[in-house]
Amino acid sequence: MGGVTSSIAAKFAFFPPTPPSYTLISEDDTSSLETQPVRFSIPEVPRKNNVEVLKLRTRKGNDIVAIHVKHHKPSATLLYSHGNAADLGQMFELFVELSNRLRVNLMGYDYSGYGQSTGKPSECNTYADIDAAYKCLKEQYDVKDEQLILYGQSVGSGPTLDLASRIPNLRGVVLHSPILSGLRVLYPVKRTFWFDIFKNIDKIGIVNCPVLVIHGTADEVVDWSHGKQLWELCKEKYEPLWLSGGGHSNLELYPEFIKHLKKYVQTISKSKATTNGSKKPTVESDNQSKASETGTADTFELSSDVPEVSRNSLDSRLEKSRKSNKPEKSRMSTDRVDRFRRRKGLGW
C-alpha cells in the first residue's frame, strides 16, 4: 500500500513542460563535462553579458542545465529551485528581474528530466540536482555558505530544505508556497509515513538560519496551512508574508511580494555584516500572523524584450491581471495538471 501511494505522489509531483521551452547551443568542448561545467547559450531568450548557461554533472550521472545571473554589486547569492510545471526557458525573465531587483547573484537550475536536463524527475534526483548547483557555486563562483540564500518554490521547497538541513551556516532560506510533504498535499495525514516524499515538515526544524515563508491565503493547490505550519516550526523565524487572496502561481504579481523579499535580503545581509552571524535578524513588524494587503509601491514589472517561449509561465497571468485590476487565481500550465487538480487539488 505504502509503495503504491508513494509512487502515485511522485507521479503527480513532476510535470516538466513538454516540449521543453528552450534549446541549447554549446559554446565549450562538451567532453570536459566530467571535470567542470560546460557553457551553453539559449537562443530563445535574449543574450546577456551577465548570464551564463551551464551544464552540470550530478552524482546520479545526469547532466542538468543551470543559469547563473551576475549582479554588478551583489549583496548575496540566491540559489532558486523552481516549481513542478516550469523550466528554465520560462523562468529566465524572472531570474534576471529578481537578480536586478534584489541585487543578488542568482543561480537557477532545471531538475533531471526538465528542459534540456537528462534523466528522469524524482525526489532523489532533485537532491542530487541541487547538490550539483551548490557545488558549482562553491567551486566555480567561490560562494561561501554565509553568502548563500536558498529559495524554494512549491515542490522546490523539497530540495531547498533538504540542502538547508545539511548546511549550518547559510545566510537565509525562502520558502514560496511550500509543501509540508508530498502526501500531505494529497491527504490530510497527521504523521509522516516512511513512503512519503519531500518530508519538509521533518527537516524545517534543523535549519539554522532566518527563514522567510511566503504563501497565498487562497492557494487552492497547496493550502495556506502548509506555509503556516512550516513557519511555526522554524528555529529562526523571519516575518512571514501571507498574501491575502493570493493563489499558487501568481504571488509575483502582488506589489508586496518583491517589497517584502527585498526587505528580507537587506535585513539578513546587514545582520550578517554587523554581527558576523551571531545575532538573529530583528523582525520589524508586529503583524506576523496577519495576511498582507497589497500596496502600490514596488510593483514587480517584467520586461517586454523576452521572446514568447520564455514568458509562458507568467504572460497570461499578467494580461488577465491588467484586465481585472487584481491578481488572477492560480493555475498550472498544462491541461493534464488542471484536470487532475480539479479532482485532487494538486499541482505543486
What distances in angstroms separate CA 29 from CA 32, 62, 269, one per listed residue? 6, 18, 38
Average pLDDT over residues 230-255: 97
Checking if the pLDDT of 305 tops 60, the result is no
Q: What is the CATH number of the domain that holds 154?
A: 3.40.50.1820
> Hey, what amino acid is at 81?
S
Checking if the pLDDT of 222 tops 80, the result is yes
**What phi, psi does 150 have (nearest 5°)?**
-95, 135
pLDDT in tens, 22-64: 999 997 666 666 666 778 999 999 999 999 999 999 999 999 9
- What does the pLDDT read at residue 298? 58
Of 176, 215, 248, 260, catalytic = 248
Checking if the pLDDT of 318 tops 60, the result is no
What distances in angstroms separate CA 202 from CA 181, 233, 234, one per listed residue? 9, 9, 11
Query: For all residues of the chain together, what is the average pLDDT?
Result: 82
CA distance 55 to 78: 18
Q: What global pTM score does this model have?
A: 0.80
Of 219, 226, 292, 333, catalytic = 219
pLDDT in tens, 68-111: 999 999 999 999 999 999 999 999 999 999 999 999 999 999 99
21 catalytically annotated? no
Collect all residues with Cβ–Cβ distance below 8 Å to 7 and sequence separation of at least 6.
none
CA distance 111 to 188: 27
Checking if the pLDDT of 313 tops 60, the result is no
Alpha-helical segments (H) within 165-250 = 182-186, 200-203, 224-233
Collect all residues with Cβ–Cβ distance below 8 Å to 296 and sequence separation of at least 6.
255
Low-confidence winner among 89-103, 136-150, 329-343 (lowest mean pLDDT): 329-343
Per-residue burial over 143-166, b if 16 or more Cβ lie within 10 Å, else e, is beeebbbbbbbbbbbbbbbbbbbe
- Grid cell in block for residue 342: 480539479
CA distance 225 to 221: 11
**What phi, psi does 161 have (nearest 5°)?**
-70, -30
131 catalytically annotated? no
> What is the tally of structural domains in the chain?
1
pLDDT higher at 19 or 38: 19
Checking if the pLDDT of 160 tops 70, the result is yes
63 catalytically annotated? no
Nearest to 147 by CA among 109, 97, 107: 107
- What does the pLDDT read at residue 294? 42
Of 21, 154, 177, 313, catalytic = 154
- What does the pLDDT read at residue 9? 58
Average pLDDT over residues 285-292: 49
What is the span of the domain harbouring residue 246?
2-344
Low-confidence winner among 51-65, 100-114, 242-256, 265-279 (lowest mean pLDDT): 265-279
Other beta carbons less than 10 A from residue 297's beta carbon: 8
CA Rg value for the chain: 19
- Grid cell in block for residue 340: 487532475
